């Protein structure tokens, strides 16, 4: 009998197939004491396992490329953390086996993060995966991971580590469903990059029996268990129609009556550029430069290394617009040389622009590198600061840009509610705004973006969040300046229409989402988008807002 479940849709498309479950996690190793004379040998085994796992993660990253590569390289650094390794060796010295020492050291570090309020919950999931891989190697058992199968399937997991998500084969893994995670988790972002339909935050997903046929709608978040022939035909027909619409859609982003909405790509570095170009991106709306810095958490990359990475991206979009976000460190992206190690709530502490203003040499080097990278290129370079709270922040950033001799537009990200509420004041110091809806939702609703239990509050359809978007867009219009969206909200085709109706002037997203958004925008007039936006803001919940907007656009 057909039943319907609902999670959070995070990657467009439809997948219909049999359930296969992720391999079970590594069992807890026994807490046996080892003789003192074996301690040195066990410490050597632990070091070898750590280095092997780190090498495997880097190799997986090289195979995956793009944003996945940066995520996996960060995981490899986590495996090799010297403080963690020192704790492992201390535990072995007092009698633990190599595998038990690793297990207990990682558990202690995990507890520290949890006690900090789980602001680093996304890194906790990555930490668990690294631990499991090291312990599995020491125990000589298979690594946890995706199941072996000759037939295509829908993957079910409690959560997916980046190392697994990055190398999913779309020819075999039709889609995936997880119990945990949120719309801005690593798995969600990588799923969109792969173009694999995905639903996260579905309670009870692990109870779906192996071999059960399910239909996954990655747009709505609906899961149909044992779908009827009629439901399967309906979903397959809708998927075919969507594919045809995507194939027919090309060119710049525009509504059906010619209102231009540039569609830009979010990239993490040169590796993400080919997919963006292929998708027809009109430029880059968010160049996340922190991945370059995460290669070595002990020191900032040299100016020469930065120039080379920036120029590779700028050259890919001749005469296009490239918006670069300066280093956004802190919270779930700590850097030893930049961010405090003892903050109780890192997401509410010294992160983003605050870190850079405390380390002006790091900011100056990055701005100088951007200036040199753009020399001689016809690209339209724009540079923005993360985590701008008020006009004083905006002025400090603009002054730093001018001091570095940067010939570019200076902008501010709107990720803190105060910036949206005082957007017009901020725009007296900078030339554009860019809304980071992921963090803006987190701070508006006090809901950690990595915690699945509060995923309903991370939903970008929340009317309160739409109100803040509208405030920012209205301020930009009044000042004659631009206001884009570069958060994950822009990747939802229906929401992209609503954002356009709110007055947003550009949309930036993962490359895989661009064709969906382009095709959907082209179906509606600007007036229809404006009416849909008004209907969504008048609602009292995210679901009501989504339904109200859909009703307006479908003519109901």
Residues annotated catalytic, as ranges = 186, 486
CB 20 within 8 A of CB 154: yes
State the residue for tokens 């509208």. 470
CA 281 to chain centroid: 18
Half-sphere exposure of 526 (CA within 13 A, CB side): 11
Which helix H or strand E contains 25, and what residues bound it? none
Residue 491 in contact with residue 192, Cβ under 8 Å? yes
| Structure tokens belonging to residue 9 | 């849709």
* CB burial readout 440-479, b (16+ within 10 A) else e: bbbbbbebbbbbbebbbbbbbbbbebbebbbbbbebbeeb
Tokens (6 digits) for 30: 């026994």
Please, what is the angle between helix 121-139 and helix 98-115, to 10°? 170
Phi, psi at residue 50, to the nearest 5°? -60, -45
Is residue 142 helix, strand or coil?
Answer: coil
Q: How far is CA 387 from CA 361, 419, 435, 474, 556, in A?
A: 19, 9, 10, 20, 40
């Amino acid at each position: 009998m057909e039943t319907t479940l609902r999670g959070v849709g995070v990657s467009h498309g439809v997948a219909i197939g049999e359930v296969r479950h992720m391999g079970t996690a590594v069992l807890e190793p026994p807490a046996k004491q080892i003789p003192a004379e074996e301690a040195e040998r066990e410490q050597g085994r632990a070091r070898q396992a750590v280095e092997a796992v780190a090498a495997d993660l880097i190799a997986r990253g090289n195979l995956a490329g793009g944003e996945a590569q940066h995520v996996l390289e960060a995981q490899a650094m986590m495996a090799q953390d010297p403080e963690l390794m020192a704790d492992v060796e201390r535990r072995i010295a007092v009698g633990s086996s190599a595998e038990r020492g690793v297990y207990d050291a990682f558990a202690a570090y995990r507890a520290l993060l949890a006690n900090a309020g789980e602001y680093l919950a996304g890194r906790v999931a990555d930490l668990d995966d690294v631990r499991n891989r090291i312990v599995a190697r020491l125990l000589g058992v298979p690594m946890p991971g995706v199941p072996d199968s000759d037939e295509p399937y829908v993957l079910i997991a409690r959560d997916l580590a980046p190392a697994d998500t990055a190398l999913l084969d779309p020819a075999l893994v039709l889609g995936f469903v997880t119990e945990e995670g949120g719309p801005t988790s690593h798995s969600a972002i990588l799923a969109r990059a792969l173009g694999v339909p995905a639903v996260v935050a579905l309670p009870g997903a692990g109870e779906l029996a192996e071999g059960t046929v399910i239909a996954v709608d990655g747009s709505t978040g609906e899961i149909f268990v044992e779908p009827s022939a009629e439901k399967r035909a309906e979903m397959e027909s809708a998927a075919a129609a969507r594919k045809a619409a995507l194939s027919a859609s090309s060119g710049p982003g525009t509504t059906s009556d010619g209102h231009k909405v540039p569609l830009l790509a979010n990239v993490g570095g040169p590796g993400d550029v080919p997919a963006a170009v292929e998708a027809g991106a009109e430029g880059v709306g968010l160049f996340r430069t922190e991945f370059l810095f995460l290669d070595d958490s002990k020191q900032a990359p040299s100016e020469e290394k930065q120039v080379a990475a920036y120029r590779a991206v700028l050259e890919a979009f001749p005469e296009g617009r490239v918006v670069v976000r300066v280093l956004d460190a802190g919270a779930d992206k700590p850097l030893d040389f930049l961010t405090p190690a003892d903050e109780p709530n890192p997401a509410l502490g010294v992160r983003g622009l605050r870190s850079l203003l405390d380390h002006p040499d790091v900011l100056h080097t990055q701005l100088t590198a951007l200036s040199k990278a753009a020399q001689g290129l016809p690209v339209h370079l724009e540079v923005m600061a993360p985590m701008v709270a008020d006009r004083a922040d905006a002025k400090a950033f603009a002054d730093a840009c001018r001091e570095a001799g940067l010939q570019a537009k200076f902008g501010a990200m709107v990720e803190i509610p105060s910036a949206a509420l005082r957007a017009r004041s901020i725009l007296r110091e900078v030339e554009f705004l860019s809304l980071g809806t992921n963090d803006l939702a987190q701070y508006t609703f006090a809901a950690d973006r990595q915690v699945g239990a509060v995923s309903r509050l991370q939903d970008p359809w929340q009317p309160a969040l739409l109100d803040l978007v509208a405030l920012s867009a209205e301020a930009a219009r009044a000042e004659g300046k631009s206001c884009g969206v570069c958060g994950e909200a822009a990747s939802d085709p229906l929401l992209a229409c609503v954002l356009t109706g709110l007055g947003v002037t550009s949309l930036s997203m993962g490359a895989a989402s661009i064709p969906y958004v382009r095709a959907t925008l082209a179906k509606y007039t600007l007036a229809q988008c404006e009416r849909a936006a008004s209907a969504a803001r008048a609602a009292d919940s995210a679901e009501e807002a989504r339904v109200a907007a859909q009703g307006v656009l479908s003519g109901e």
